Structure 1
Amino acid sequence: MSSIHLEPQDLPDVAPHNHGRTMAAWVTNASIAVGALLMSIGFAISFAPLLWVGGAIAIIGSIAGGVLRALGHGQSLG
């Protein structure tokens, strides 16, 4: 048995109902996953252009997710 006892005020806030279910989150995660997949294939077959394309997709997708969040399609900060 644990000797740690948590009081209700010590618990973290409940996550919002749409946590991770926003357009910005989906675009960011999908683009990073596709970019990582292309980069790993490019690495495995020693094809540098595929590495660069995969990296570019991951970076552009991350920027697109940030833009979508700024436009109101993501989780609010507060």
Structure 2
Amino acid sequence: MADNTLAHRAQNPTTTEAVHLPPTAPPTNHGHTVAAWTTTWVVVGGAVIAALAMVFAQVWLFWVGIGVCVLGLVGGKVLQVLGYGQGGAATLARQKARGGH
């Protein structure tokens, strides 16, 4: 059993190991872009529509909800290509206007 008394700890200080941090900081927006938020909310809306369709047993409304989800994914990709995604021109300009965030 290890000696954990105060006298032992005073005579034998513990050593700490060095912490190695990454060389650079991650991007400041962490995915908080127009493309990401638009995609998220449209897909969530489509999922809510599909869930309500299942509750009310409406098959056609379920497929409408799935269609909204697919449109959200396509719309998000289009926004990303247009520069509203991570690293896009519109996102970088927006960050610059807001002071880097």
Give the TM-score normalised by the residue count of structure 1.
0.78
Superposed CA deviations along residues 3-26 of structure 1, whole A, max 9, x for unmatched, are xx86324x8x64311222211011
> 2:37 aligns to what?
26
CA RMSD of superposed structures (Å): 2.1
SS in 2 for 1:8: coil
Gaps in structure 1 of 5+ consecutive residues: none
Gaps in structure 2 of 5+ consecutive residues: 1-17, 89-101
| Structure 1 ranges of 4+ moved more than 4 A | none
Matches within 5 A, 1:1-78: 7-9=20-22, 14-76=25-87
Asked which structure has the greater RCO (Cα within 8 Å, sep 6+), the reply is 1
Report which of the two structures shows the higher radius of gyration computed on alpha carbons. 2
Aligned length: 71
Give the TM-score normalised by the residue count of structure 2.
0.62
Q: Percent of pairs identical after alignment? A: 32
